[in-house]
Amino acid sequence: MGHPSVLHLLANPAVTEMLNRTMESGITKADGHKLVAECPTDTLVAAAGRIRDSTRPGAVTYSRKVFINLINLCRDTCTYCTYKKEPGEPMLSLLEPTQVLALAEAGKKYRCTEALFVTGERPEQKYGQARAWLSSLGHSSTVEYIREMSELVIEKTGLLPHTNAGSLTRKEMIILKDSNVSFGAMLETSSERLTGKGMPHEDAPSKNPKVRIKTLESAGELGIPMTTGLLVGIGETQEELVDSLFVIKKLHEKYGNIQEVIMQNFAPKPQTGMAQFPQPSSEYFLRAVAMTRIIMPNMNVQVPPNLNPDIFGRYIDAGINDWGGISPVTIDHVNPEFPWPPIESVKKVTEGRGRRLRARLPVYPEFLKGGFITSGRLLQQISLIADNSGLVRDDYIND
């Protein structure tokens, strides 16, 4: 890799030698365990920043999006989640086509390029209301309705759909592939321990690591650009954190389709099972972000700025190169307690760290150039809003 030496940064010769070795030739899981346990935070962050400067020296990016909260009934129950709603609750979302189109048109007005479709995990398997709602729309599954709405949004607004509907089968991905430029499925953790009794994923079968990994493998076999990542601070150990990052690393090495890794810090929310669970320290999360860059030097690494509103600039120092989706139109329905900062504020913070902020599409430039998008209508729309680098044209945003 040829990254600059960090010998001057650390007095501990053994850790220094290990860190320099990993920066030159890559990192083993054993080295990762040792680094996360023993390397001082300042050194870890500096190393991650240097690697990012070498592998991702350009702008820090974000995706200008509209969040389409299609249906938030969910068969899973995660003990930290406020996204899931029950029938009769005031914030239950069952969006009709006219509502979906209205949101997408508002997004286009504000120069969004991404239509983010988010749903609960297979709600029709648990709720009669979901089945009846889908049937009234002419569908038997949530995936079928996502496809119809994706096609509607493309045709009427030109926004590019990105779907995050939890675990998906290979067949379901094939149904959606021609109408979505990318998908998302958070691994969250590779620790099966966290599915046990009294753990965050005890009542969330789709969060079993085997299920999530299978989804990511199927996407890899189909050549679909995937977003994944970890939820940090839900009870994992430092070793389990590193193990989870290596699961993602190995998937990408095998299939080449992981387009970004989101690092999201757990925040306790009222009226959830983990309301009193301590959130991870800012140092622990900073170290987790730095380790992500060290373990995956060439990856697009993202931290959502709304979850760390006062300190998000520090993650640039720790090796990130992306802020994820930011909406000038809709709230973050997964984390409504944390509003997105204004894009101008994100720009100011980014430039204050010596980087330019650029808007990207929901599919990264290297995946456009790599031939992952094969749908003619998606490619045609991309050509109208992307520049030669594969990012969003400045004049499209500023027009």
SS3 227: strand
> What does each C-alpha distance from 168 to 75, 129, 231, 325, 349 come to in angstroms?
14, 21, 19, 21, 36
Strands (E), the chain: 60-71, 114-119, 160-164, 182-184, 226-232, 258-265, 301-302, 322-326, 357-360
Mean of the per-residue pLDDT values of the chain: 94
Rounded to whole angstroms, the Cα distance separating 206 from 251 reads: 18
- Report whether 184 contacts 164 (CB < 8 A): yes
Rounded to whole angstroms, the Cα distance separating 241 from 235 reads: 10
* Averaged pLDDT, 64-83: 97
Position 5 scores a pLDDT of 45
Instruction: Give strand pairing partners of 358.
Output: 61
Going by C-alpha positions, the residue among 291, 297, 234, 225 that lies closest to residue 255 is 225
SS3 301: strand
* Averaged pLDDT, 383-392: 96
Position 2 scores a pLDDT of 45
Rounded to whole angstroms, the Cα distance separating 21 from 7 reads: 11
Position 399 scores a pLDDT of 66
Backbone φ, ψ for residue 123 (5° rounding): -60, -30
- Report whether 23 contacts 47 (CB < 8 A): yes
- Report whether 306 contacts 336 (CB < 8 A): no
Alpha helices in 41-141 (DSSP H): 41-55, 97-109, 128-136
**Residue 95 pLDDT > 70:** yes
Q: Which two tokens stand for residue 298?
A: 């060439």
Q: Which domains does the chain have, with CATH numbers?
A: 7-55 (no CATH), 60-398 (3.20.20.70)
Q: What is the pTM of this model?
A: 0.95
pLDDT tens, 44-62? 999 999 999 999 999 999 9
- Report whether 321 contacts 60 (CB < 8 A): yes
**Residue 9 pLDDT > 50:** no
pLDDT tens, 310-341? 999 999 999 999 999 999 999 999 999 999 99
* Averaged pLDDT, 219-244: 98
Q: Which two tokens stand for residue 331?
A: 């709230």
**Residue 127 pLDDT > 60:** yes
> What letter would DSSP give residue 247?
H
- Report whether 352 contacts 369 (CB < 8 A): no
